[in-house]
Each structure stands twice: as C-alpha cells, then as structure tokens.
Amino acid sequence: AQSVTQPDIHITVSEGASLELRCNYSYGATPYLFWYVQSPGQGLQLLLKYFSGDTLVQGIKGFEAEFKRSQSSFNLRKPSVHWSDAAEYFCAVGAAGTYKYIFGTGTRLKVLA
C-alpha cells in the first residue's frame, strides 16, 4: 500500500537549535518527494522537491532534505531554527505522470525563544 509516515506529531526545539523532521514513504514507483510548510491560517507553501539526481536538495528558508532510497526516507533539516519557522510541515509523495499526492499527517513544530 502507498503511504507516507511522519512519525512525530509534535516537535519542540529552541531557537537556534538544529532541526530534523522525519518522513518515510511506501510507494511502488520511483517517487517524487515534496516538503510543504503551513503557517496558521495559510495555505501550504512548497519548501523543496526531489525528482531525481542529487539526493541532497536545497529549498527555501534555509531548509534542505536528503533522499535515502535504501531507507525510503526524505528527512527535512535546518541547521538553525528561527522563531518564524513555527508551523506545520507536510511531507508528500507523487510520481512521474501522476497527479495524485499522498500527504503525511504533518508535524507541528514549536520553537522556544
């Protein structure tokens, strides 16, 4: 079955600390992978995407993610978190030629001053 798992529902970090949000997927085809961020009252904003090639991808707002095929993972990282990063983060998987995304259930990030 196709699925995306974000095992952490909530994460709390201190401002300036490093961050890693986990995403694991189960998908039959070679996946396209995405991370989105949703601030309160806003839509989902695309942080970064992986289609092929270099498995370490850089995104906006200082985020990066690494695709590890052997672990079926696409974890999101940021070396130093800012208070404005507090939001909900969604991992999603798609594939070439398909319009359907499978979204994870989200990880809500809280940042302590």
Q: Binding residues for other proteins, per CB under 8 A?
A: 32, 34, 36, 41-46, 49, 90, 94-101, 103, 105-106
Q: At closest approach, how far in Å is the CB of 97 from other proteins?
A: 6
SS3 99: coil
Nearer to other proteins, 49 or 77 (CB): 49
3-state secondary structure of 62: helix
Nearer to other proteins, 81 or 92 (CB): 92
Whose Cβ is closer to other proteins: residue 81's or residue 95's?
95
Which residues pair with residue 36 across a beta bridge? 46, 90
CB of 16 to other proteins, least distance (A): 29
Cα distance between residue 84 and residue 106, in whole Å? 18
Nearer Cβ to other proteins (4/81): 4
CB of 23 to other proteins, least distance (A): 14
Compute the least distance from the CB of residue 62 to other proteins, in Å: 19
Q: What count of residues does the chain have?
A: 113
CA distance readout (Å), 69 to 6, 41, 59, 104: 16, 34, 19, 18
CA 27 to CA 78: how far, in whole Å? 26
